Amino acid sequence: MDLLILGSLLLTGGLLALAGVFDGGDGKDDDAPPEQPRGTSGDDTLNGDDGILNGWGGHDVLTLGGTAEGHGNQGNDTLTAADESVAYGGVGEDQITAHDDSTAYGGAGRDIGYVDGHATVHGGAGNDSFGVYGTGSGYGDTGADYLHGHDTTTTYGGDGTDDVVAWDQSTGYGGDGADTMSAQNQGEVHGDGGNDLLETYGAQNDLPLTSALYGGAGDDLISRGAHLDGGDGNDWLAAGDSLYGGAGNDILSYGHDVMEGGDGNDLLYMGHTFSGGTASGGAGNDMFVVNAVGDSTRPIDVISDFTLGEDQLAILVPTFVPANLYPTAVSYEIHAHPDAGYTDVRVTLDIPPTGGANPIDYSGESVIRLMGVTDLTAEDVVYVMNNGETGSFGSVDDMQRALPETPNADQISTTHVYNGTIGDDSFTAASPSEQPSVAAWLGDGDDSFTAAGQAHFVNAGDGDDHYTGAAPDDSNPNAATDPVTNVHMGGGNDVLEIGQGQGRFYGDDGNDSFHTTATPDPAPSSGYLSNTILDGGTGDDSYVIGSGDTVIDDRSGTEDYTFVVSDDSLTAGHNTVYNYQPGEHLRIEIPADMAGEVRFVDQQAIEGSGLEGTAIYIGTQQIAFIDQYGSGATIGVRDGIDNVEVVRT
C-alpha cells in the first residue's frame, strides 16, 4: 500500500470569498442604513451593536453586540453574539459562539458552537453540537444532538437520539428518544423518555462517585454513579452507591450501600462488592441473588423487606473463582432470631486450597440477614449457578439444570452472569431468546467475550482482551432500539470489534484498537451505530469507523491515536472526534474512494467541515486541506502543524 504524506497546505482558489464587509457599530456607515447593515448574495462580514443585520446568501460572518439582531439566512454562516444580542443562523451548517446574556438559534442544518456566560443556544432542526459553559443553557431541539455542559449549565437534548454530557455541577436532560448521557464531578443527567444509556463519565475504581443519574420513562441502562434512579420502565442499574429501580421489572447489581427495586418483579444482585449493603425489593415478586463469595470478613448483606410466599432468596454459586479453582461444596444454614426480629442465612463455600509453597484457601462463610423474617424455610431458598439456571447442589458434577416452580422463576434467567478468573477466559453469549441480557466480569488475564445481540455489560479487567459485538442483522425489526451496551476493557492492549446497537465502549489504559462494523443498511434511521461512543482512555489508540453516528471521545491528553475511515464509512451519518488535545499525535487515513463527511471537534471551540474541497479543523485550528476526493486528490497539512499526518491509502 502506497502512502502519501504531505507537509504543507495546498490551497486552491475559491475556498472563501468575501463579497462585502460592513460595520454598523456606530451607526455612521455609508454602506447601509445604521440599523440594517445588509449583505449580498456572496460571502459577507457584518458587525453591529444595534439594529438588524442580514447576511442573505453566501457564507457570512456576523459579529453582534449590544442589542443587535443578526440573521445568517442561507449558507454556512459564522455568528458571534455578545451582550444581549440575538443571532439566527438560518438554513445551513452554521458555527455559533454566544457570550454574556446573548441568545442564538441555529435553525435548520447541522450547527456547531460554543456558549459561555449566561448565554442560551437553540440548535433547531438537524444534528447539532454545542459546548456550554458558565451558567448558560443549551437546547438541541430536534435531531441527534451533542451537548456538553460544564460548570453550572443546563442542557436539553430534545427530540431525537441525543448525546448529553453534564460535568461539574451542570444538569442535562435527554428529552424523548434513546439518548446517551454521562455525568461527572457532581453532574446530574435525566434520560426522560426513551430507552436511554446513562453513566458517570470516565469513572475509575479509585475515585469517589459523585454524579446522579435518572433514567426517567423507558427501559434504561444506568451504571456507575453516586445515585442511580431507573424511574418508570424495566431498567438495568449497575455499580453505584445508591440504586433505585422505580416502577417496572428492574435489575439491580453492584450496589455499595442501598438497592431498592420499587414496584414490579425485580432482580437484585447482592454480594458483588465487599462493602455489604441493604436491599429492598419493594412491591412485587422479587428475587434476591446473593453471590457466595466465601469471605468471612465481608460485611453482612441485609434484605429489609423479604416477603415469604412472594420473594425468593437465591445463592449464586460461582463456577469459576480465582486461580481456576472450582467449588466442591456449597451449604447454608438458617438461623432465626425471633427476639431480634430477623433471620440469618449463613452460606459456606468449600474450595480446595491453591498449590505451591504458599497455598491460599478461598473457602469461607458469608451472611445474609433478612429483616422482619423469623420463619424462613428451605423452600424459600434456591441455588443459582452463573449460567442463570437453578437447582440443588451436591457437587460440580451433579448440578441439576431445572427451574423450580416458584412464583417468579422466570426472573432467574433474566440476566445471564459470567464470572471470569485471573487466568485467560473465553465466553460466548447465547442467543437473545435464551439470554435476554448478559453481565460479564471477566477478571484479569487475556480474555475474550462475544455478544449475540442482547443488552450486555462487560468488565474485562486487566490484560490484552478481545471483545466482539453482534454483527448487524438487517432482518431484525428491533435493530434500531437494541441492544444497549456498556463495555470496559480495563488495562492492556485491547481489541474491540463493535457491531449493532447503541452504547459506550472504553479501552481504558493501554494501546487499544476499535473497529466498528459497516452496516447492511446505512440509513441514518437504522440506529445500528447511532450514539455509539468510543473512549480510548490512556494509551496510543486507533479507530476504524464504519457507518452511522459514531463519536470518538479520546480524553487522555498526551497519547497518539489513529483515525481510519473505512471504505463505506461516511456515506450516511457522521463521525466526530471530541476532545483532541494539543500534544497528542493524530493520524488520519482516508481511502481514495471515500464519500461523505468527517468532523473533528474539541470541547472549547467546535468546528467542522466536509471533505470535498474544504478544510478540516480540530477546534479552531485548521490542520489539513483536501482539494478533492477520489483519484488524484490533493491532501496537505498546514505549515507549522507538526503533530498531524493525513495519509492517502
Tens digit of each residue's pLDDT (9 = 90 or more) over 170-185: 999 999 988 889 998 8
Nearest to 167 by CA among 183, 190, 181: 183
Lowest mean pLDDT among 100-114, 192-206, 422-436, 614-628: 614-628
Asked whether residue 14 is assigned to any structural domain, the reply reads no
The pLDDT confidence band at residue 499, using thresholds 50, 70 and 90, is confident
* Per-residue confidence (pLDDT) for residue 348, from 0 to 100: 82
Question: What is the maximum alpha-carbon separation in the chain?
Answer: 96
Asked whether residue 631 is assigned to any structural domain, the reply reads yes
Lowest mean pLDDT among 5-14, 323-332, 496-505, 587-596: 5-14
Asked whether residue 430 is assigned to any structural domain, the reply reads no
What mean pLDDT, rounded, does the chain reach?
73
Number of domains in the chain: 1
Mean pLDDT on 427-453: 84
Whether 188 and 212 have beta carbons less than 8 Å apart is answered as yes
* Per-residue confidence (pLDDT) for residue 539, from 0 to 100: 80
Asked whether residue 480 is assigned to any structural domain, the reply reads yes
Q: What's the pTM value of the predicted model, to 2 decimals?
A: 0.70
* Per-residue confidence (pLDDT) for residue 465, from 0 to 100: 96
* Per-residue confidence (pLDDT) for residue 278, from 0 to 100: 92
Neighbouring C-beta atoms of residue 524, cutoff 10 Å: 15
The pLDDT confidence band at residue 12, using thresholds 50, 70 and 90, is very low
When mean pLDDT is compared over 265-269, 277-281, 322-326, 329-333, the highest value belongs to: 277-281
> Going along 538-578, which residue ranges are E strands?
541-545, 550-553, 560-565, 575-578
Spatial separation of the C-alpha atoms in residues 303 and 320, rounded to whole Å: 26
Name beta bridge partners: 434. none
Lowest mean pLDDT among 116-125, 133-142, 168-177, 308-317: 308-317
Whether 421 and 445 have beta carbons less than 8 Å apart is answered as yes
The pLDDT confidence band at residue 401, using thresholds 50, 70 and 90, is very low
Does residue 213 register a pLDDT over 90?
A: yes
Lowest mean pLDDT among 59-63, 178-182, 257-261, 340-344: 178-182
Nearest to 592 by CA among 565, 624, 622, 552: 565
Does residue 536 register a pLDDT over 60?
A: yes
Task: Please tell me whether residue 389 adopts helix, strand or coil conformation.
Answer: coil
CA dihedral 430, 432, 436, 442 (to 10 degrees): 40
What are residue 324's phi and psi, to 5 degrees?
60, 35
Single-letter amino acid, residue 556: S
Neighbouring C-beta atoms of residue 213, cutoff 10 Å: 31
The set of cell numbers assigned to 118 is 449566561
Spatial separation of the C-alpha atoms in residues 547 and 529, rounded to whole Å: 7
Mean pLDDT on 94-113: 93
Asked whether residue 199 is assigned to any structural domain, the reply reads no
Spatial separation of the C-alpha atoms in residues 12 and 476, rounded to whole Å: 47
Asked whether residue 365 is assigned to any structural domain, the reply reads no
Asked whether residue 611 is assigned to any structural domain, the reply reads yes
- Give the range of the structural domain holding residue 476, as residue numbers without chain letter: 465-648
Spatial separation of the C-alpha atoms in residues 306 and 287, rounded to whole Å: 9
Whether 215 and 235 have beta carbons less than 8 Å apart is answered as yes
Whether 546 and 591 have beta carbons less than 8 Å apart is answered as no
Does residue 516 register a pLDDT over 60?
A: yes
Asked whether residue 413 is assigned to any structural domain, the reply reads no
Q: Which residue has the higher pLDDT, 346 or 592?
A: 346
Spatial separation of the C-alpha atoms in residues 31 and 547, rounded to whole Å: 48
Lowest mean pLDDT among 258-267, 415-424, 585-594: 585-594
Q: Which residue has the higher pLDDT, 107 or 434?
A: 107
Does residue 599 register a pLDDT over 50?
A: no
Whether 126 and 140 have beta carbons less than 8 Å apart is answered as no
Place of cell 437484585: 268
Place of cell 462585502: 20
Question: Which run of H or of E encompasses 468?
Answer: strand 466-468
What are residue 220's phi and psi, to 5 degrees?
-105, 150
Mean pLDDT on 612-633: 45
* Per-residue confidence (pLDDT) for residue 53, from 0 to 100: 94
Half-sphere exposure of 427 (CA within 13 A, CB side): 29
End-to-end CA distance of the chain: 7
Spatial separation of the C-alpha atoms in residues 361 and 345, rounded to whole Å: 22
Mean pLDDT on 153-174: 93
